[in-house]
Amino acid sequence: MQTSSQLIHHNQTIIPEPVLEALKLREGDAVVFEIDQAGVHLRKAQPVDIAFTGALQGTLSEWNSAADDEAYADL
């Protein structure tokens, strides 16, 4: 199936109904655009678990130093 939409003011578009249904999108859902050599792919973004992310944040300081910033600056 192929469907299309048109860009309007501020590069906005309406996602066609068949795409909304296929991705099970609802108002307020986030979407992800993945770009690769085959093209651009649209998918529904997975919700972020804020509690998990907050708990994880305290464990990520191992590589958070000026020496690490310098060592990995070219990446």
Is residue 69 scored above 90 in pLDDT? no
Is residue 57 scored above 80 in pLDDT? no
> What is the per-residue pLDDT across 19-37, written as a single tens digit (0 to 9) for each?
999 999 999 898 999 999 9
Per the CB < 8 A criterion, the answer to whether 34 and 43 are in contact is yes
Nearest to 6 by CA among 15, 24, 75, 26: 15
CA 68 to chain centroid: 27
Q: What is the pTM of this model?
A: 0.59
- Proportion of the chain above pLDDT 70, given as a percent: 97
Instruction: Write out the H or E segment, with its range, that includes residue 43.
Output: strand 39-44
Structure tokens at 66: 């000026």
Higher pLDDT, 29 or 51: 29
Q: How confident is the model at residue 2, as a pLDDT?
A: 92
Structure tokens at 52: 């998990």
Q: How confident is the model at residue 12, as a pLDDT?
A: 95
